[in-house]
Amino acid sequence: MSAIAKKFARRPSPPSPHKPVLLHPAADEAPAGLPILAASIDLDNSHVIGIAGSDRPIFDERAQELLQGKLNKQNLLDRTKEVLDEAEVALNEDALEVLISDIKQANASYGDAFDNLLDTGRCLNRIQRIIGAGGYKALVNSGVVLINETTASKLRRIASAIDTGRIPADLHDYIPRNTSGAYLLSNLPRDRTREFMCALVGQGLLPDAPVRTLEEAVKRLKNGNATSAASDTEKVLLHELALKEATLARQKSELEKTRDEVESLRARIEAIRNAAQGTDAVL
């Protein structure tokens, strides 16, 4: 998945306690010189953060990426099995392996498709800045540019809303990965975009609700349901606060451990120096 696709990936659920999971790369998968590690999973149980039973982080990026990839695949496999069991769909292991591979490819391609549309919108904005709307229309009419003005206008609008901050950067994770949904958000009232998006997130509508459902919810917000919007905004902010506090607590813990290690090293150095001075005095 591309960097932009990762950026727009679905936001994790509220934090839960650490859940250490043993996750060893198979010997035939590990690059040369890659240590075999047991991974420790972070607060949302979706990211590899270190070595199980140790305070040390994983310094080998190859190990980090390999373990993260295996964790992602295992999470996808577990969730898929759960859904298929509930739907009473039985698959053997070979069919399930093919299914998981196709799901990963489809999800990645879908993400890449939106990324490509976003990049197209950025290119179209640059083109229009150079030659103006009239020049663009002439290029379309002549067949030099293949994207009709209706589609181009939507793509330019989406790209501009994202790049200029009209859609706040900290809410980019909630942008629907389809043109209609993203275009709807890019046309929200400029001074209320954050308020509306937080309300939609609080209602569980972003990023995955159908566009018609989003349109109806936006109409209700525009009609002044301020109390509901404020409540939904509070839910989102509380969620964000919980994530930030969990990160801060983890960083404070790591800082305290580092301080203790520094003091321990200083004490050892001092002891060595004192011992050396004692030896010199005897001599």
Residue 189 lies in a domain: no
Instruction: Tell me: pLDDT of 279 over 80.
Output: no
Query: Higher model confidence: residue 219 or residue 275?
Result: 219
Question: In which domain, by residue range, is 54 found?
Answer: 1-90
Question: pLDDT tens digits, residue range 52-108?
Answer: 555 555 555 666 666 667 777 788 888 888 888 888 888 898 998 899 889 888 888
Residue 4 lies in a domain: yes
Residue 278 lies in a domain: no
**DSSP string covering 120-179, please?**
HHHHHHHHHHHHHHHHHHHHHHHTSS-S-HHHHHHHHHHHHHHHTTSS-GGGGGGS-SSH
Residue 187 lies in a domain: no
Residue 66 lies in a domain: yes
- State which H helix or E strand residue 200 sits in: helix 193-202
* C-alpha–C-alpha distance, residues 39 and 43, integer Å: 13
Question: Structurally, how many domains does the chain consist of?
Answer: 1
Q: How confident is the model at residue 4 (pLDDT cuts 50, 70, 90)?
A: very low
* C-alpha–C-alpha distance, residues 276 and 48, integer Å: 44
Residue 262 lies in a domain: no
Residue 73 lies in a domain: yes
Q: Which two tokens stand for residue 127?
A: 């083109």
Residue 204 lies in a domain: no
Q: How confident is the model at residue 6 (pLDDT cuts 50, 70, 90)?
A: very low
Average pLDDT value for the chain: 77
Instruction: Tell me: pLDDT of 235 over 80.
Output: no
